[in-house]
């Protein structure tokens, strides 16, 4: 791959990551659907999807640095969980954090599989 195509690929990846992250944030704000609403062990489906999109976009945007992508995704989940606790005195819910981690793992798994297949296609 020459330098010009690498720059074009980097710009496309950055645009993809930006739009997917924005989509994830909007999705989190608009769709607060919970499984078993009212149950103390309910999981927020919107957050699972949003964090899956965030993790997937990071994995596809930066395929050569999976540890950085995982760290960014997990950091976003921790900030999203603990910032309202610090600022608004909300209580910590394990199910909220579990939903975020499920989304992150799902997104990174899909991104890893996608990147493996893309690498195989590039080698042939």
Q: Which positions ≥6 away from 73 have C-beta within 8 Å? A: 51, 54, 55, 58, 104, 107, 108
Average of per-residue pLDDT across 37-54: 67
Q: What is the pLDDT of residues 104-122, one digit of tens each?
A: 888 888 888 877 887 777 6
pLDDT in the model for residue 17: 67
Cβ 54 vs Cβ 102: under 8 Å: no
The pLDDT value recorded for residue 36 is: 47
Q: What is the pTM of this model?
A: 0.57
What average pLDDT score do residues 47-60 get? 76
């Amino acid at each position: 791959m020459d330098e010009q195509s690498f720059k074009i690929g980097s710009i496309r990846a950055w645009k993809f990551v930006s739009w997917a992250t924005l989509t994830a944030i909007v999705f989190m704000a608009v769709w607060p659907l919970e499984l078993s609403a009212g149950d103390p062990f309910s999981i927020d489906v919107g957050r699972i999807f949003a964090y899956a999109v965030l993790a997937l976009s990071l994995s596809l945007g930066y395929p050569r640095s999976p540890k950085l992508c995982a760290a960014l995704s997990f950091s976003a989940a921790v900030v999203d969980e603990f910032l309202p606790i610090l600022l608004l005195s909300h209580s910590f819910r394990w199910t909220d954090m579990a939903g975020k981690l499920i989304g992150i793992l799902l997104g990174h798994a899909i991104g890893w599989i996608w990147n493996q297949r893309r690498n195989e296609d590039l080698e042939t």
